[in-house]
Structure 1
Amino acid sequence: MTTVDKRLHARLQSLWDDARAAGMSEPEKLLYRSNLLGSDKRITNYGGGNTSCKCTEVDPLTGAGAEVLWVKGSGGDVGSIRMDGFATLYMDKLRALKGKYRGVDFEDEMVGYLPHCTFNLNPRAASIDTPLHAYVPKAHVDHMHPDAIIAIAASKNSKALTAEIFGDEIGWLPWKKPGYELGLWLEKFCLENPEAKGVVLESHGLFTWADDAKDCYELTLEIINKAMAYFDDKTKGKPAFGGAVHDSLARPERRKVAAALMPVIRGFVSGNQHMVGHFDDSEAVLEFVNSAQLQPLAALGTSCPDHFLRTKIRPLVLGFDPAAMNLDAVLAGLPDQIAAYRKDYAAYYDRCKHDNSPALRDPNAVVYLVPGVGMITFAKDKATARISGEFYVNAINVMRGASAVSEYCGLPEQEAFDIEYWLLEEAKLQRMPKPKSLAGRVALVTGGAGGIGMATAARYLAEGACVMLADIDEGALASAATALSQAHSGDVVRTIAMNVTDEAAVAAAYDALAVEFGGLDILVSNAGIASSAPIEETTLDLWNKNMSILSTGYFLVSRAAFTLLRKQAMGGAVVFVASKNGLAASPNASAYCTAKASEIHLARCLALEGAEAGIRVNVVNPDAVLRGSRIWQGEWLDQRASTYGTDKQGLEEMYRNRSMLKRSVLPEDIAEAAYFLASDLSAKSTGNILNVDAGNKEAFTR
Structure 2
Amino acid sequence: MSTVAALIERSNRLGADPRNTNYAGGNTSAKGTGTDPVTGTDVELLWVKGSGGDLGTLAEGGLAVLRLDRLRALVDVYPGVDREDEMVAAFDYCLHGKGGAAPSIDTAMHGLVDAAHVDHLHPDSGIALATAADGEALTKECFGEKVVWVPWRRPGFQLGLDIAAIKAAHPEAIGCVLGGHGITAWGATSEECEANSLWMIRTAESFLAERGSAEPFGALVDGFGPLPEPQRRARAAALAPVVRGLASTDKPQVGHFTDADVVLEFLSRDKLARLAALGTSCPDHFLRTKVRPLVLDLPATAPLEETVARLRELHAAYREDYAAYYAQHATPDSPAMRGADPAIVLIPGVGMFSYGKDAQTARVAAEFYINAINVMRGAEAVSTYAPIEESEKFRIEYWALEEAKLARMPKPKPLATRVALVTGAGSGIGKAIAQRLAAEGACVVVADLNGEAAADVAAEIGGTDVAVPVTVDVTSEEQIAATFEQAVLAFGGVDLVVNNAGLSISKPLLETTAADWDLQHDVMARGSFLVSRQAARVMIDQQLGGDIVYIASKNGVFAGPNNVAYGATKADQAHQVRLLAAELGEHGIRVNGVNPDGVVRGSGIFASGWGAQRAAVYGVPEDELGAFYAKRTLLKREVLPEHVANAVYALTAGQLSHTTGLHIPVDAGVAAAFLR
Query: Which bin holds the TM-score, normalised by the shorter protein?
Result: over 0.9
Aligned pairs for 1:683-702 (under 5 A) are 683-702=657-676
CA distance in 2, matches of 1:466, 1:354: 38
Aligned pairs for 1:76-475 (under 5 A) are 76-235=53-212, 238-245=214-221, 246-322=224-300, 324-475=301-452
Q: Confirm or deny that 1:514 pairs with 2:471.
A: no
CA distance in 2, matches of 1:320, 1:507: 26
Q: CA deviation at 1:378?
A: 1.2
Q: Confirm or deny that 1:531 pairs with 2:491.
A: no
Partner of 2:630: 656
CA distance in 2, matches of 1:490, 1:337: 31
CA distance in 2, matches of 1:44, 1:64: 37
| Residues 603 and 618, structure 1, Cα contact 8 Å, conserved in 2 | yes
Secondary structure of the structure 1 residue equivalent to 2:465: helix
Q: Confirm or deny that 1:629 pairs with 2:619.
A: no
Whichever residue aligns with residue 242 of structure 1, its letter is G
Secondary structure of the structure 2 residue equivalent to 1:200: strand
Secondary structure of the structure 2 residue equivalent to 1:67: strand
Partner of 2:557: 583
CA distance in 2, matches of 1:504, 1:76: 42
CA distance in 2, matches of 1:648, 1:321: 62
Partner of 2:594: 620
Aligned pairs for 1:495-506 (under 5 A) are 495-506=469-480
Whichever residue aligns with residue 665 of structure 1, its letter is V
| Residues 323 and 340, structure 2, Cα contact 8 Å, conserved in 1 | yes
Q: CA deviation at 1:269?
A: 2.4
Aligned pairs for 1:39-78 (under 5 A) are 39-78=16-55
CA distance in 2, matches of 1:386, 1:214: 32
Structure 1 gaps, min length 5: 1-23
Whichever residue aligns with residue 560 of structure 1, its letter is Q
Larger CA deviation: 451-460 vs 227-236: 227-236
Larger CA deviation: 116-125 vs 175-184: 116-125
2:520 is aligned, of 546, 557, 574, to 546
1:559 is aligned, of 520, 529, 533, to 533
Whichever residue aligns with residue 207 of structure 2, its letter is Y
Deviations 1:24-66 (A, max 9, x none): 2101111111111110111111110000000000111111110
| Residues 301 and 411, structure 1, Cα contact 8 Å, conserved in 2 | no
| Residues 320 and 327, structure 1, Cα contact 8 Å, conserved in 2 | no
Deviations 1:162-205 (A, max 9, x none): 10011011111000000011010011001111121000001110
Partner of 1:11: none
CA distance in 2, matches of 1:579, 1:105: 67
Q: CA deviation at 1:123?
A: 4.5
Larger CA deviation: 384-393 vs 100-109: 100-109
CA distance in 2, matches of 1:482, 1:103: 52
Secondary structure of the structure 2 residue equivalent to 1:681: coil
Secondary structure of the structure 1 residue equivalent to 2:85: helix
Structure 2 gaps, min length 5: none
Secondary structure of the structure 2 residue equivalent to 1:252: helix
Q: CA deviation at 1:362?
A: 0.6
Deviations 1:100-158 (A, max 9, x none): 21111111111111100000122421011000111110110000000011111110011
CA distance in 1, matches of 2:295, 2:97: 50
| Residues 626 and 652, structure 1, Cα contact 8 Å, conserved in 2 | yes
Partner of 1:605: 579
Whichever residue aligns with residue 79 of structure 1, its letter is G
CA distance in 1, matches of 2:362, 2:189: 37
Q: Confirm or deny that 1:638 pairs with 2:612.
A: yes
Q: CA deviation at 1:568?
A: 1.2
Q: Confirm or deny that 1:676 pairs with 2:662.
A: no
| Residues 320 and 326, structure 1, Cα contact 8 Å, conserved in 2 | no
Q: CA deviation at 1:507?
A: 1.2
Secondary structure of the structure 2 residue equivalent to 1:417: helix
Secondary structure of the structure 2 residue equivalent to 1:544: helix
Partner of 1:573: 547
| Residues 442 and 522, structure 1, Cα contact 8 Å, conserved in 2 | yes
CA distance in 2, matches of 1:252, 1:224: 37
CA distance in 2, matches of 1:300, 1:327: 28
Q: CA deviation at 1:569?
A: 1.4
CA distance in 1, matches of 2:201, 2:219: 26
CA distance in 2, matches of 1:239, 1:371: 18
| Residues 117 and 193, structure 2, Cα contact 8 Å, conserved in 1 | yes
Larger CA deviation: 511-520 vs 381-390: 511-520
CA distance in 2, matches of 1:120, 1:283: 49
Larger CA deviation: 653-662 vs 185-194: 653-662
Aligned residues between the structures: 674
Q: Confirm or deny that 1:665 pairs with 2:642.
A: no
| Residues 562 and 617, structure 2, Cα contact 8 Å, conserved in 1 | yes
Whichever residue aligns with residue 266 of structure 1, its letter is R
**Aligned-pair RMSD on alpha carbons?**
1.1
| Residues 445 and 470, structure 1, Cα contact 8 Å, conserved in 2 | yes
- Provide the TM-score with structure 2 as the length reference: 0.98
